[in-house]
Structures are given as C-alpha cells and as structure tokens.
A = this chain, B = another copy of it.
Amino acid sequence: MTTGGRIQHAGLRRKIVPAEAAAAMIGPGTTVGMSGFTGAGYPKEVPLALARRIGEANAAGAGFRINVWTGASTAPELDGALAAADGIELRLPYQSDPVSREKINAGTMEYIDVHLSHVAQMVWEGFLGHLDVALVEVSGITADGELIPSSSVGNNKTWIDVADAVILEVNTWQSEALEGMHDIYYGTALPPDRRPIPLTRPGDRIGVPYLRCPPDKVVAVVETDAPDRNTGFKEPDDASVRIAGHIIEFLEHEVRRGRIPRDLLPLQSGVGNVANAVLAELENSPFENLTAYTEVIQDGMLSLLRSGRMTVASATAFSLSPEEAAHLNEVAREYHDRIVLRPQEMSNHPELIRRLGVLAMNGAIEADIYGNINSTHLMGSRIQNGIGGSGDFARNAYVSFFVTPSTAKGGAISSIVPMVSHVDHTEHDVHVVVTEQGLADLRGLAPRKRARVVIDNCAHPDYRPLLDDYVERAQQGAYGRHTPHLLDEALGWHDRFVRTGTMARPL
C-alpha cells in the first residue's frame, strides 16, 4: 500500500515509517492527542500497533498505560484496542466504546467527561497538563507541507499546535476531494487577547482549508488505506418517527406564531438513530432552505443536502453509514460549497451557537418531571457515553429539545422519572422534552406546571399513575412546594430497578 501522490512534501515523504516504528515513539505515561470524532478521521494504524506493544508489555507486568485525548468517540481500532490492552490510564473528553465503558465503570480506567467546546481552551489554558504527542489522520500533505484534514477536524488544530511531536497517518481511503471542504480558524487566543469570532452564517468560511504544522515537528508519517468505521443506521423505528413528527408539528406551530422564521434556524442534531430519524422526516416537511450548524453530518443530513432541502451544513465531522460514506467519497467535490468542517471549538462555540440561534436537538437517557436531563449516567453511577456537545448547544440554543423514547428495556425503565439520577442539563436549559408519547413545551412554565405537562405529554401511560401519585404526595409532604420532592422516594425508581430489574412498582 502506498499513499502515492498524497504526500507532496519531500521532507515529510522521507519520514514515512511502518506503524510499529511510530508506535515505538510513544512510551509509558505519554499523553497523546489523537484525531477522531464519532468514528471519522481517527488514526487507524498506530493505535493498533501501539495496543499490540502495550499488550505485550502488560502481559509481562510492565504497567504500560497512556492518556488519550481525542475529539470525541473513535472506533474499536483505537479506543477498543487500547482499552483491551489495559493501555489507557485516562481518557477524555468523550467516548462510546463498549470495552472502555466496561473498564470505566469497573473503576479501572479514568474518564473525564467534558463539554466538547471546552477541551481546546482547557488545554491552551494549561488546565489539563502537558500534551506529548499528536497523532492525527490527514487525507494528504501539500507540497508546502500543509496538512489536508480528513473526515473529521475535532481538536486536531490544537493537538498539532501544542504537542511536542506530531505523528501523521495519511489515509488514501479518504477522498482527495475533501481538500477545500475544511475551515480551520487560526484566530483563537488566550484571554485577554480573544477577539470576536467573525462568523454570522452557518456556511461562512473564516479560516484556511489546511492544518499548519512545522515539518520539523513531524516525527513520523504512516500510510494507511483503512476505512472509517462508518456504522450503519437502523431504519427509523416507530418511536423515532413519532418523536420526529412531534418536533416537526411544533416547528410548524412556532413558524405560524411568528416565533421562528419560515426557513427555520440552523439545526443541530445529536448523534444517533433518533436524531437521524428526525432529519429523515424533515425530508417530508414543508420546510425548505434549511441550514445546519452542528457537530456531525449523519446520513439524514447528507440526504437533505442532496435533495436540496438543506442549503448548507457546518459540522466538525462526518458520521455516515458505509453506503453514504462511499457516495460522499465519490462526489465530495459537489458538496464543497455546501459543507464546512471546522474545529470542534468552533462547531460547538457558545458565542456562535447563541449568535446563530441554533435549534438544538439532543438525546436524553432520562428526564425528570421538572425538566432536568440526564444525558450520561445509568442509575446515577454508570456512565454510558458522555455529555459531548449537548451542553454547548442546549445552553445557548434558540430552542433546546431533548428527545428519548418514553421507556427502555421493554418497559422496565421509564425515561420520565421523579428525579433524574444524574443531572447534565438543568431545568434552566431545557425548553422542550419529546418522547413518542408527545411533546412538553416547558418555556415560561414554573416547576409544578412543568411537572404536569411532562407527565401528561411525555410519560408512558403505564408510568403516568405512578408519577401522578408521586407529584400529589410531594405537593403535600415536601419541605417546600416550589419544586416538591420526597427525599426518601425521589431516586426510589432507580433503586427499585437496580434491586428488582424494573422501575414498575411490584403488585
């Protein structure tokens, strides 16, 4: 395998080494900033070689572990392989790998769950410690040594800027036509030198299409042609389609009331099947000239771009099925005017999200009757994935939606509970809660009224009587009646699930 013409810079071509040689440059205790965002643009060869090296060392009792920083989640070849080798001491800022998840919840791997817009600045501020190595996939290198980004941007600019040394993976599987699609903003700074970010439309380009890196800083270049993970999406299930329908009906209502423009406002859509279903349903909506200012471009969004219903989409990564990834690789150039990939500190920047007035749709694990949202923890203790960018978007959105099916585990879990077992988004940041049962518009409602509409509109009918009973007794017996709770019962549903396998009350 050869990257052929992808490496135009002679000096960097001379640094091509096998993955094992590059992995040998990463020693125990190293902190590595890797590329990758939702299974796109992560390094494919060096992490596998490194996992083999670590696995062998650890089998001999070496205790070889590294710290892994990324954009967001990656893929089995990165998180999975390194975790399986017991090679990760600390992971941040987001992950969704099942092997890592087990280790984190077993207490044998550390994980810090960070707002995605906060990561780059925390690194620059020095709050997370020193970054030793940047390990970044690119789709090519120009004759001047500029780096053509890959299918995600994530924190790559920051990793390259701050790391002592840079290892590049040049991936020929990525389309050459990605060149020109990225917008890398080099105007960031530490305070007191920060300036307004000059972006006022989702499609604005305010930077350059390349990542800059002094060639001297590159210690190794590795070639690959391995594809992005690109897991497929499930066909939208009935619950997802109904959730999408409620949201579209709400948007139509808001447009009629004059509270949202006819072409809507830039859409943000979280990662996953429900989000993808909402996008798919927009294809059948009356809305046109849609735009997106979001984290990832999933199948549903690419489809809206293809049909012309969406005019432009800004994100930090693709997150496509294998079929759509193949399509994109064929015709990437046709999307050049309509897709912009940015660093995640820009795709998720509070300044920009608030300015643009984003309509933010994110998934929840559970919502409580007062509108607090748990996005991260099962039964209060067990982390699922992480908060990702949902906080960046929800806090600053024009309208913040949280969506979830009303039950999980075949009805054993109600996603609407008296009190969430972990709070990621407070009542102050949640405008609209949507389940397949219906939509609760919480804007301008005091807590007791919020409880009424959440239960009536969103809870599953099997759990409504239990919620009604809780609310009624809490309004009589609570320490205060602003946000009435019964302290000995508020988390009782979760406790019951852990003890009995269901939140439903035993007969």
Contacts and interface: CB of A to CB of B under 8 A. Distances in A.
Interface of A: 90, 104-107, 110-115, 118, 122, 125-129, 190-192, 194-198, 200-201, 257-259, 261, 265, 350-351, 354-357, 372, 377-383, 387, 391, 395-396, 398, 419, 421-429, 431, 443-446, 448-449, 474-475, 478-485, 487-488, 490-492, 494-495, 498
Contacts of A104: 482
Given A107-B475, A259-B125, A491-B487, A351 B357 contact: no
Contacts of A444: 112, 122, 127-129
Contacts of A265: 191-192
Contact of A448 (B107, B259, B445, B495): B107
A265 B191 CA distance: 8
A381 B483 contact: yes
Contacts of A396: 350
Contact of A377 (B201, B431, B449, B483): B483
A425 B423 CA distance: 9
A446 B259 contact: no
15 contacts: A111-B446, A350-B395, A378-B479, A380-B479, A380-B490, A381-B478, A381-B483, A381-B484, A382-B479, A391-B426, A391-B428, A424-B426, A487-B498, A488-B491, A488-B495
B423 A372 contact: yes
Given A126-B257, A192-B201, A380-B485, A428 B423 contact: no
Contacts of A428: 113-115, 118, 387, 391, 424
A376 to B, nearest CB: 9
Contact of A482 (B111, B125, B357, B425): B111
A436 to B, nearest CB: 25
A482 B381 contact: yes
A110 B104 CA distance: 42
B192 A261 contact: yes
A106 B426 CA distance: 23
Contacts of A355: 191, 194-196, 351
A161 B126 CA distance: 44
Contacts of A380: 419, 478-479, 483, 485, 487, 490
B356 A191 contact: yes
